[in-house]
Amino acid sequence: MNQKTCSIMMSRRRVLSLFGAAAGAGVAVAATLRSASAQTSGMERRDDRRDERENRRDDRRGTTDKPAQTQPTQTQPAQTQSPPKQ
């Protein structure tokens, strides 16, 4: 029973600021976790809608495969020779 206890007097203002900081950190962590999962499910829904649109578009056009992504062909440049000098 020879232990010394050190008690620190804390004002109400300091205690309330600590509780406020802890609550703010808790809200920030909870919001981050919720937004990460919502973003993933939202991305999945968007991808599903995009796939459905592409399928409907392909059905209208009568195509079954997606066209290959190719570079546009370049035409030969016009030959620009100066007329012969006289």
Sequence spans of domains, the chain: 34-60
Residue showing tokens 């370049």: 74
Note the pLDDT of residue 71: 56
> Is residue 51 a contact partner of residue 57, using CB atoms and an 8 Å limit?
no
Task: Tell me the C-alpha distance between 55 and 40, whole Å.
Answer: 23
Q: Is the pLDDT of residue 75 over 70?
A: no
Q: Give the tens place of pLDDT for each residue, 25-57.
A: 888 887 777 666 556 778 888 989 999 999 999
Greater pLDDT, 77 or 20:
20
- Residue 62 DSSP symbol: T
Note the pLDDT of residue 57: 92
The pTM assigned to this predicted structure is 0.31
Which whole number is the average pLDDT over 4-22? 82
The percent of residues above 70 in pLDDT, for the chain, comes to 60
Note the pLDDT of residue 62: 86
Task: Tell me the C-alpha distance between 33 and 26, whole Å.
Answer: 11
